[in-house]
Amino acid sequence: MKIMAFVGSPRKGSNVDTLIDSVIEGAKSTTDVEVEKVHLYDADIKLCIGCLACTALKGGKDCPLQDDMAGILERMQAADAFVFGTPNHVHSMSAGLTNLLCRMQPLIKMDVIRDDAGKIIGADATTLIKGKKAVMVVSQGDFSVSQSSLLLKTLAANITDFQLKKVAEIFSGGNLERAQVKEKEHDLQAAFAAGVKLAG
């Protein structure tokens, strides 16, 4: 199986990256897994310019931005499962992960429903990654999960919008220092178990 893991932290080898590695280890413990890890702060993924070219409203054209994203979208369609990881940045997901989700909009195919006068009255959507599995991973500095309540909700909502099946949600708090999660065996084990589920 093919897993694509998106590391939405600018700190390589730190908390989010470590938890994602545990998810990958868990997946590898059950089956043959091919993994592509995408460090969102290293990849050439330009900021979405909001032109809507990719949407049904503008005829679902190719994104005009020339960067790594066209290849990533192609490989996402060939993948079986995803890991989306992010630190809590100002109570939200990181800018890198937010931008990835914006740039993933070409994967949503929408049929716009119009009335006789041509006014939009609804839309039917399907996605090119429908039914694939996903694990979300969140790390934060504070100990109280309430700091990430908005983030956990919005990331889960986006996973639903892309018609993915969320198999696990990994949250780890109290990780202000770089790679502090390495001291948290319980959280690493939960991430490993999420990987087992992802591959199962």
Structure tokens at 128: 């090119």
Judged by CB under 6 A, the chain residues 140 through 199 that form the site for ligand FMN are: 140-142, 147, 175-176, 178
Quick check: helix, strand or coil at residue 197? helix
From residue 38 to residue 57, the character string flagging contacts with ligand FMN as x (rule: CB under 6 A) and all else as - is: --------------------
- 16 part of the interface to ligand FMN, by CB under 6 A: yes
The C-alpha atoms of residue 89 and residue 104 are separated, in whole angstroms, by: 21
By CB under 6 A, the count of residues binding ligand FMN is: 19
Residue type, position 188, single letter: L
User: Candidates 46-54, 83-91, 118-126, 192-200 — which segment interacts with ligand FMN by CB under 6 A?
Assistant: 83-91
Measured from the CB atom, the residue of 56 and 95 that comes closer to ligand FMN is 95
- 22 part of the interface to ligand FMN, by CB under 6 A: no
What stretches of 4-145 show up as alpha helix (H) in DSSP? 15-30, 69-78, 95-103
Q: Which of 98, 99, 105, 139 binds ligand FMN (CB under 6 A)?
A: 139
CB of 161 to ligand FMN, least distance (A): 24
Q: Which of 83, 89, 97, 137 binds ligand FMN (CB under 6 A)?
A: 89
Structure tokens at 189: 């084990």
The C-alpha atoms of residue 150 and residue 124 are separated, in whole angstroms, by: 27
Measured from the CB atom, the residue of 133 and 184 that comes closer to ligand FMN is 184
The DSSP H or E segment spanning 68 is none
β-strands 108-114, 120-127: how paired? antiparallel
Q: Residue 121 class from Cβ within 10 Å (0-12 exposed, 13-18 middle, 19+ buried)? A: exposed
Measured from the CB atom, the residue of 13 and 71 that comes closer to ligand FMN is 13
User: Candidates 45-53, 71-79, 81-89, 185-193 — which segment interacts with ligand FMN by CB under 6 A?
Assistant: 81-89
CB 45 within 8 A of CB 76: no
Positions that interact with ligand FMN (CB under 6 A): 9, 11, 14-17, 87-91, 139-142, 147, 175-176, 178
